[in-house]
Amino acid sequence: MIQTIYKSKSLRIFSFLMILSVLSMSFRTKEDVNIIIPSGTVIPLENANEINSSTLVAGQTMDFFVRNDVKVEGSTVIKRGSLARGQVVRVQKAKGLGKEGFVEVEIRSVQAVDDSEILLTGARLFEEGDDRQTAAILLGVLVCILFLTMKGKNAVIPKGYAVDARVANDFQISVN
């Protein structure tokens, strides 16, 4: 009886179909979907470190992080915590005669979920320190000439400062 069951054609076909269905479920991979991130999409960022005009030079790169997931068509295209890169455009340390320091940083790109670099625009940070020029001149003339060497304050942007950048051009990425 057992031999007739093993020799049964319908059992062999059933077994073959079961094995085929298990294999097709096991090896099926999810296809990548191409999504276009439209230009102008807002990317919420924050700086990773304090930005201080006394310690920077023009051309230096700065790190920023994405504050929230960015979604397009229901799919996450840029994850929270992704790295964004900025560059110091202009910087000046505080100087004598009470002249303040300043710093200007432009955020250039951010990393998408497929590790591609998306170019950004519209995100410039500019900060000036306190101007002490009037006090330095008045005190230097009226009290002591050494007050003319008094410096202004350096520009400081604290760690975690929030800024929004925008995607420069339509950009296609692959999301799975």
Q: What is the mean pLDDT of residues 99-121?
A: 89
pLDDT for residue 141 is more than 80? no
The model's pTM is 0.68
Of the ranges 3-12, 24-33, 41-50, 120-129, which is most confident?
41-50
Domain ranges of the chain: 33-175
Percent of the chain with pLDDT over 70: 76
Q: What is the mean pLDDT of residues 125-139?
A: 63
Among 36-40, 73-77, 117-121, 128-132, the least confident range: 128-132
User: Which residue in this structure is represented by tokens 């020799």?
Assistant: 7
Task: Report the topology of domain 33-175.
Answer: Lipocalin (2.40.128)
